[in-house]
Amino acid sequence: MQRLIEAARAVMANWERGDLAAAVRELAAALPPEAPEAIRDSAAELYAGNDIEIDDVAYLSEGDGGTWVSAWVWMPCDSSDEENES
């Protein structure tokens, strides 16, 4: 995350100096990679359902023996929590 923040600051700093293209390339390199379709589709097949969604542009993080695939997890509102917040 720090690398992404630093790259974004470089884009802002280079905006007026005219070296925006290099800063944008640095920013693009700092972004996490998108999941290849095969990995994303396998993750969706295994885990996606009523409470878990995997976007078409899911991100991945390779690890020892596997890959983490970003996903959304549904958290329903508890009506008693809403009443306590009022």
Q: Tens of pLDDT along 13-29?
A: 777 677 778 777 777 77
What 21-30 contacts at long range (C-beta under 8 Å, 24+ apart), as own/partner pairs, is 30/3, 30/4, 30/6
CA distance 24 to 17: 13
What's the whole-model pTM score? 0.48
Domains of the chain, residue spans:
1-31, 33-77
Q: Which residues of the chain have pLDDT under 70?
A: 1, 16, 32-35, 80-86
Rounded to whole angstroms, the Cα distance separating 48 from 64 reads 23
